[in-house]
Protein backbone atom coordinates (compact mmCIF):
# COMPACT_ATOMS: atom_id res chain seq x y z
CA UNK A 1 0.00 0.00 0.00
CA UNK A 2 1.35 3.39 -0.97
CA UNK A 3 1.67 6.29 1.51
CA UNK A 4 0.07 4.17 4.22
CA UNK A 5 2.17 5.37 7.17
CA UNK A 6 1.71 9.04 6.33
CA UNK A 7 -2.06 8.60 5.88
CA UNK A 8 -2.73 7.00 9.30
CA UNK A 9 -5.70 8.46 11.20
CA UNK A 10 -3.55 9.26 14.24
CA UNK A 11 -2.47 12.71 15.47
CA UNK A 12 0.30 14.28 13.40
CA UNK A 13 3.76 13.95 15.09
CA UNK A 14 4.28 16.37 18.01
CA UNK A 15 0.57 17.23 18.13
CA UNK A 16 -2.33 15.88 20.14
CA UNK A 17 -5.23 16.77 17.93
CA UNK A 18 -4.08 17.68 14.47
CA UNK A 19 -5.49 15.00 12.16
CA UNK A 20 -4.97 14.58 8.45
CA UNK A 21 -7.64 14.78 5.84
CA UNK A 22 -8.45 11.14 5.17
CA UNK A 23 -7.90 9.77 1.67
CA UNK A 24 -9.25 6.35 0.72
CA UNK A 25 -6.83 3.98 -1.04
CA UNK A 26 -8.54 4.30 -4.40
CA UNK A 27 -8.12 8.09 -4.39
CA UNK A 28 -4.38 8.12 -3.71
CA UNK A 29 -3.22 7.93 -7.32
CA UNK A 30 -2.47 11.21 -9.10
CA UNK A 31 -4.57 9.98 -12.00
CA UNK A 32 -7.77 9.82 -9.93
CA UNK A 33 -9.76 13.03 -9.54
CA UNK A 34 -10.47 14.03 -5.96
CA UNK A 35 -12.21 17.43 -5.96
CA UNK A 36 -13.23 17.11 -2.29
CA UNK A 37 -9.58 16.95 -1.25
CA UNK A 38 -8.94 19.71 1.32
CA UNK A 39 -5.71 19.01 3.20
CA UNK A 40 -5.37 20.42 6.69
CA UNK A 41 -2.87 23.25 6.95
CA UNK A 42 -0.38 22.80 9.77
CA UNK A 43 3.13 24.13 10.51
CA UNK A 44 4.72 23.35 13.85
CA UNK A 45 5.49 26.68 15.59
CA UNK A 46 8.77 25.18 16.82
CA UNK A 47 10.36 25.29 13.36
CA UNK A 48 9.80 29.02 12.94
CA UNK A 49 12.97 31.07 12.97
CA UNK A 50 15.24 28.00 12.96
CA UNK A 51 18.31 28.42 10.77
CA UNK A 52 17.57 25.13 9.01
CA UNK A 53 13.92 25.98 8.27
CA UNK A 54 12.37 27.92 5.37
CA UNK A 55 10.80 31.29 6.11
CA UNK A 56 7.12 31.39 6.96
CA UNK A 57 4.79 32.16 4.07
CA UNK A 58 3.10 35.43 5.00
CA UNK A 59 0.56 37.48 3.03
CA UNK A 60 3.48 39.58 1.70
CA UNK A 61 5.48 36.65 0.36
CA UNK A 62 2.54 34.43 -0.46
CA UNK A 63 3.01 32.24 -3.53
CA UNK A 64 2.29 34.09 -6.70
CA UNK A 65 2.56 31.10 -8.91
CA UNK A 66 1.62 27.63 -7.87
CA UNK A 67 1.02 24.60 -10.06
CA UNK A 68 3.91 23.11 -12.04
CA UNK A 69 4.02 25.64 -14.84
CA UNK A 70 5.75 23.92 -17.71
CA UNK A 71 7.79 21.52 -15.56
CA UNK A 72 6.90 17.85 -15.46
CA UNK A 73 7.37 17.13 -11.78
CA UNK A 74 6.17 18.51 -8.49
CA UNK A 75 9.07 19.68 -6.35
CA UNK A 76 12.57 19.34 -7.78
CA UNK A 77 12.96 18.64 -11.49
CA UNK A 78 16.39 17.09 -11.87
CA UNK A 79 18.80 18.19 -14.58
CA UNK A 80 22.49 17.63 -15.26
CA UNK A 81 24.90 20.11 -16.81
CA UNK A 82 28.31 19.45 -18.37
CA UNK A 83 30.93 22.21 -18.15
CA UNK A 84 33.53 21.20 -20.74
CA UNK A 85 36.59 23.45 -20.63
CA UNK A 86 40.03 23.87 -22.20
CA UNK A 87 42.66 26.62 -22.01
CA UNK A 88 42.26 29.43 -24.54
CA UNK A 89 45.20 29.35 -26.92
CA UNK A 90 46.82 31.65 -29.41
CA UNK A 91 48.51 29.07 -31.62
CA UNK A 92 50.24 26.86 -29.10
CA UNK A 93 50.49 29.56 -26.40
CA UNK A 94 47.97 29.52 -23.56
CA UNK A 95 46.45 33.01 -23.30
CA UNK A 96 47.13 35.08 -20.23
CA UNK A 97 44.67 37.83 -19.37
CA UNK A 98 46.53 41.19 -19.41
CA UNK A 99 44.79 42.54 -16.29
CA UNK A 100 44.27 39.53 -14.05
CA UNK A 101 47.47 37.80 -15.27
CA UNK A 102 45.58 34.55 -15.12
CA UNK A 103 45.25 31.93 -17.81
CA UNK A 104 41.99 32.01 -19.68
CA UNK A 105 39.56 29.12 -19.93
CA UNK A 106 36.85 28.60 -22.50
CA UNK A 107 33.84 26.29 -22.29
CA UNK A 108 31.32 24.83 -24.69
CA UNK A 109 28.04 26.75 -24.70
CA UNK A 110 24.93 26.11 -26.72
CA UNK A 111 22.16 28.44 -27.78
CA UNK A 112 18.81 27.16 -26.61
CA UNK A 113 16.16 26.72 -29.25
CA UNK A 114 13.57 28.04 -26.82
CA UNK A 115 14.29 31.63 -25.83
CA UNK A 116 17.61 31.72 -27.75
CA UNK A 117 19.70 32.24 -24.60
CA UNK A 118 23.23 30.82 -24.47
CA UNK A 119 23.54 28.09 -21.86
CA UNK A 120 25.33 25.00 -20.66
CA UNK A 121 24.41 22.01 -22.84
CA UNK A 122 22.41 20.38 -20.05
CA UNK A 123 19.10 18.62 -19.81
CA UNK A 124 16.78 16.55 -17.67
CA UNK A 125 17.97 13.36 -16.01
CA UNK A 126 15.93 10.42 -17.29
CA UNK A 127 14.26 8.03 -14.87
CA UNK A 128 16.87 5.65 -13.45
CA UNK A 129 19.74 7.50 -15.13
CA UNK A 130 22.85 8.66 -13.25
CA UNK A 131 23.41 12.43 -13.33
CA UNK A 132 26.86 12.08 -14.92
CA UNK A 133 25.45 9.84 -17.67
CA UNK A 134 22.75 12.43 -18.30
CA UNK A 135 25.35 15.22 -18.53
CA UNK A 136 27.35 13.19 -21.05
CA UNK A 137 24.26 12.23 -23.07
CA UNK A 138 22.97 15.80 -23.19
CA UNK A 139 26.45 17.00 -24.18
CA UNK A 140 26.37 14.60 -27.15
CA UNK A 141 22.82 15.54 -28.12
CA UNK A 142 23.23 19.30 -27.90
CA UNK A 143 26.83 19.94 -29.04
CA UNK A 144 27.40 16.95 -31.36
CA UNK A 145 23.88 16.28 -32.61
CA UNK A 146 24.18 12.65 -31.52
CA UNK A 147 20.49 11.97 -32.18
CA UNK A 148 21.35 11.83 -35.87
CA UNK A 149 24.57 9.81 -35.49
CA UNK A 150 24.61 6.83 -37.83
CA UNK A 151 27.95 5.83 -39.30
CA UNK A 152 31.14 4.46 -37.82
CA UNK A 153 32.73 7.93 -38.13
CA UNK A 154 30.32 9.07 -35.48
CA UNK A 155 31.08 6.23 -33.13
CA UNK A 156 34.59 7.71 -33.13
CA UNK A 157 33.01 10.90 -31.70
CA UNK A 158 31.41 8.79 -29.00
CA UNK A 159 34.81 7.36 -28.14
CA UNK A 160 36.34 10.85 -27.79
CA UNK A 161 33.50 11.92 -25.52
CA UNK A 162 33.96 8.93 -23.23
CA UNK A 163 37.69 9.70 -23.00
CA UNK A 164 36.85 13.31 -22.14
CA UNK A 165 34.29 12.39 -19.52
CA UNK A 166 36.58 9.79 -17.95
CA UNK A 167 37.74 12.71 -15.78
CA UNK A 168 34.90 14.71 -14.31
CA UNK A 169 34.42 16.73 -11.17
CA UNK A 170 31.02 17.60 -9.68
CA UNK A 171 31.16 21.36 -9.04
CA UNK A 172 27.61 22.20 -8.04
CA UNK A 173 24.40 20.53 -7.04
CA UNK A 174 21.19 22.24 -6.10
CA UNK A 175 18.69 24.88 -7.10
CA UNK A 176 18.81 26.56 -10.52
CA UNK A 177 17.30 30.00 -10.96
CA UNK A 178 15.28 28.96 -14.00
CA UNK A 179 12.42 31.04 -15.45
CA UNK A 180 10.21 27.92 -15.45
CA UNK A 181 10.28 27.61 -11.64
CA UNK A 182 7.12 28.01 -9.58
CA UNK A 183 6.50 27.57 -5.86
CA UNK A 184 5.61 23.92 -6.39
CA UNK A 185 8.05 22.89 -9.09
CA UNK A 186 11.60 23.98 -9.74
CA UNK A 187 14.83 23.04 -11.45
CA UNK A 188 17.78 21.48 -9.64
CA UNK A 189 20.98 20.36 -11.31
CA UNK A 190 24.23 18.54 -10.83
CA UNK A 191 26.98 20.26 -12.80
CA UNK A 192 30.09 18.33 -13.79
CA UNK A 193 33.33 19.90 -14.86
CA UNK A 194 35.21 18.10 -17.61
CA UNK A 195 38.59 19.60 -18.53
CA UNK A 196 40.74 18.91 -21.58
CA UNK A 197 44.17 20.22 -20.51
CA UNK A 198 45.90 20.01 -23.89
CA UNK A 199 42.86 20.60 -26.09
CA UNK A 200 43.78 17.41 -27.94
CA UNK A 201 40.46 15.63 -27.45
CA UNK A 202 38.15 18.63 -27.84
CA UNK A 203 39.92 19.53 -31.11
CA UNK A 204 38.60 16.28 -32.50
CA UNK A 205 34.98 17.05 -31.66
CA UNK A 206 32.79 17.66 -34.65
CA UNK A 207 30.67 20.45 -33.13
CA UNK A 208 27.14 20.53 -34.44
CA UNK A 209 24.16 21.83 -32.46
CA UNK A 210 21.31 19.36 -32.06
CA UNK A 211 18.10 18.55 -30.22
CA UNK A 212 17.06 21.60 -28.14
CA UNK A 213 20.18 23.57 -29.18
CA UNK A 214 20.46 25.69 -32.33
CA UNK A 215 24.10 26.83 -32.04
CA UNK A 216 27.24 25.72 -30.27
CA UNK A 217 30.46 27.60 -29.63
CA UNK A 218 33.53 27.88 -27.44
CA UNK A 219 32.86 30.75 -25.05
CA UNK A 220 35.34 32.56 -22.78
CA UNK A 221 35.01 31.89 -19.06
CA UNK A 222 34.31 35.44 -17.94
CA UNK A 223 32.13 37.25 -15.42
CA UNK A 224 30.53 39.29 -18.21
CA UNK A 225 29.26 36.33 -20.21
CA UNK A 226 25.45 36.36 -20.15
CA UNK A 227 24.02 32.87 -19.81
CA UNK A 228 20.63 31.22 -19.27
CA UNK A 229 19.34 30.98 -15.66
CA UNK A 230 22.30 31.27 -13.26
CA UNK A 231 24.63 29.13 -15.36
CA UNK A 232 27.44 31.69 -15.14
CA UNK A 233 27.56 31.15 -11.34
CA UNK A 234 28.39 27.51 -12.05
CA UNK A 235 31.12 28.56 -14.49
CA UNK A 236 32.48 30.88 -11.79
CA UNK A 237 33.07 27.89 -9.50
CA UNK A 238 35.18 26.26 -12.17
CA UNK A 239 37.18 29.47 -12.73
CA UNK A 240 37.84 29.69 -9.00
CA UNK A 241 39.21 26.24 -8.43
CA UNK A 242 41.15 26.21 -11.70
CA UNK A 243 42.57 29.61 -10.67
CA UNK A 244 41.65 30.89 -14.13
CA UNK A 245 40.76 34.37 -15.29
CA UNK A 246 37.29 35.50 -14.25
CA UNK A 247 37.16 39.30 -14.23
CA UNK A 248 39.28 42.45 -14.53
CA UNK A 249 37.38 43.92 -11.62
CA UNK A 250 39.88 44.51 -8.74
CA UNK A 251 37.55 42.67 -6.35
CA UNK A 252 38.28 39.44 -8.21
CA UNK A 253 42.01 39.91 -8.65
CA UNK A 254 43.18 38.33 -5.40
CA UNK A 255 43.78 34.64 -5.11
CA UNK A 256 41.11 34.05 -2.49
CA UNK A 257 39.06 30.96 -3.11
C1 LIG B 1 18.45 24.38 -16.54
O2 LIG B 1 17.66 23.87 -17.59
C3 LIG B 1 19.40 23.27 -16.19
O4 LIG B 1 20.56 23.81 -15.58
C5 LIG B 1 19.66 22.62 -17.52
O6 LIG B 1 20.71 23.27 -18.20
C7 LIG B 1 18.38 22.87 -18.30
C8 LIG B 1 17.54 21.63 -18.44
O9 LIG B 1 16.36 21.90 -19.14
P10 LIG B 1 16.21 21.67 -20.70
O11 LIG B 1 17.52 22.04 -21.35
O12 LIG B 1 15.90 20.23 -20.90
O13 LIG B 1 15.11 22.60 -21.10
O14 LIG B 1 17.66 24.76 -15.45
MG1 LIG C 1 18.56 18.23 -24.19
MG1 LIG D 1 18.86 21.13 -22.72
| pTM for this prediction | 0.83
242 CA → ligand 3 middle, Å: 25
152: burial class by Cβ within 10 Å (0-12, 13-18, 19+)? exposed
Which pLDDT score, from 0 to 100, does residue 150 have?
A: 84
Cα–Cα distance for residue pair 222/99, rounded to 1 Å: 13
199: burial class by Cβ within 10 Å (0-12, 13-18, 19+)? middle
Which pLDDT score, from 0 to 100, does residue 257 have?
A: 44
Rounded average pLDDT over 144-160: 87
pLDDT tens digits, one per residue of 42-71: 999 999 889 898 788 777 777 678 789 999
Q: Which atom of ligand 1 is nearest to the CA of 231?
A: 4
Q: Which atom of ligand 1 is nearest to the CA of 191?
A: 4
Residues, beta carbon < 5 Å, ion ligand 2: 123, 138, 211-212
Regarding beta strands 93-94 and 185-195, do their DSSP bridges make them parallel or antiparallel, or are they unpaired? unpaired
Mutate to test the pocket of ligand 1, among 71, 122, 181, 190 (most ligand atoms within 8 A of CB): 122
* pLDDT exceeds cutoff 50 at 97: yes
pLDDT tens digits, one per residue of 195-206: 999 999 999 999
Nearest listed ligand to the Cα of residue 210: 2
Amino acid sequence: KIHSVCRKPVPYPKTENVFRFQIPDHKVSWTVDHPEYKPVEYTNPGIQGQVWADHEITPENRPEFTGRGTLGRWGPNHAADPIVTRWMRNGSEVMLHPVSSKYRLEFLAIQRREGKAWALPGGMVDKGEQALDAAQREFCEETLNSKSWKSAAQSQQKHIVSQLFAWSQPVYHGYIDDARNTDNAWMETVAFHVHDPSGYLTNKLNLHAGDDAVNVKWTPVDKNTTLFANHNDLIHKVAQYMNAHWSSDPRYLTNKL
